[in-house]
Every structure is written in C-alpha cells, then in structure tokens.
Amino acid sequence: MYFLILFLLLPFQLAYSQECQSDYPQTTPSDRFEIHGDGSVTDKKTKLIWKRCLQGLSGENCSQGTFFKGTWEQALQEAENNPGWRLPNIKELQSIVEKQCTEPAINIQIFPGNLSAVWSSTPDVYSYFVWDVNFKYGYTSTREASHSFQVRLVRSEQ
C-alpha cells in the first residue's frame, strides 16, 4: 500500500517543490493576469501579453512537449519563427518574477512548469554577453550568448 502511494506521489513531488513565503507580499498575484483560451495571458499591470508556456511546451499545465533550449542566436530565431511574438527585454522578463516564491520564482498558476534561466533580448555592454533571468531564484545575470537557455515569448497589447 505504502509502495503504491509513493509510486503515485513521485511525479507530484517534483511539481510541488516550489516554496512560497505567504507572509511576504506577492509581486505577481493571479488577479493581475487574465488567462486566454489560446495559451496566452495578459498582465493587466504592464499590458504585456505572455505565452503561458515556455517555448516548446504546451497544454494547460505546459507539461506536453520538450522545452526549447538554445543559444541566444537560436533564441532570437525561435522568437522570429513565431510571428507576432518577440523575445522580452530584461525589464519585461523581470516583471513576471514572483518574489514570494523560489524554485521556481514565478506564479505557477499563471506560468506552469519548472524554470531555470530564460534569455532576454537585452545584450550586455560587454560584447557577446546577454541578460537572462534565473527563474529558479528570480535574479538576473549576464551570460555568454553561447549558453543554452529557455525562451518565453511576449507581445505588447495592441
């Protein structure tokens, strides 16, 4: 019996590893967002429209498919392959960091799925370095463009 329960729990354990401090303020409460049926979500605060899933993933829990991971150039190309969408700049990408939580530092009701570093469109002053947000903990950093990171696309409200 216990074996069965543990067996059932295993995949859930991974999905539930996010840690949130409920007595710290939420930076991205769910009611800031309006989810659309097409897999996108509007951030009513910033008026940006985001894809709920990282590139490559789909489904309501973004659990189908394999997430895109590539160099910055591949990330630019991936965005280019999705007409109407673009790579967010570093400030836009930071605007969906949930500072109440870590692992991942994002509102998983709005943006499901586990996250690590995600490319921005913002190059660093030092050539060949590019800004990214590490969504495991929420901080920003600059990395060589040859690193392989994930992509989340955005567009501006018309």
Partner 1 sequence: MKFIHFIKLIVLLTCTFNGVNTVNAENLINKEKILFDEPKAFSFDASKLKANGQFIKSKAKFFIQTNVADSISSSHDFSNLTPIQLTGRIRVAPDDVGKKAEIIVVASYNGVFYIKSELGWQKWDGRIDHLVAIKKPQALQGIEDINIVSDLAILGSFKIYLGYRLNGALHHSKHGLGFRIYKGKTVKLGKLNDTGITWGTDYPNRKNNTHCIGTIIQQQDCSQGLDAQAAAGTLTKIGGGRAGFDFTKLDGNGQPLDAKASNWSCVKDNHTGLIWEIKTDNGSIHDKDNTYRWGGVTALGSGTKGRYYSDWDILVNGSNAESLCGFSNWRVPTSAELGSLVDFSRKDIAIDTDYFSYALPGVWSSEPYAVDSANLAWIVGFKSGNTGHTQRLKMLQVLLVHSQQ
Beta carbons of 125 and 43 less than 8 angstroms apart: no
How many CB atoms are closer than 10 A to CB 21?
A: 11
Map residues 108-137 to x or -, x wherever contact with partner 1 holds by CB under 8 A.
------------xxxxxxxxx-xx-----x
Site for partner 1 in 49-88 (CB under 8 A): 59-61, 72-73, 76-77, 79-80, 86-87
CA distance 53 to 36: 13
Based on the shown chain and the rule CB under 8 A, indicate whether residue 2 belongs to the binding site for partner 1. no
Could you tell me the two tokens for 38?
């097409």
Could you tell me the two tokens for 138?
């929420």
| Phi, psi angles (nearest 5°) of residue 77 | -65, -40
Based on the shown chain and the rule CB under 8 A, indicate whether residue 92 belongs to the binding site for partner 1. yes
Residues that bind partner 1 (CB under 8 A): 5, 8-9, 12-13, 16-17, 19-21, 23-25, 27, 29-32, 34-37, 44-48, 59-61, 72-73, 76-77, 79-80, 86-87, 89-92, 94-95, 99-102, 105, 120-128, 130-131, 137-142, 145
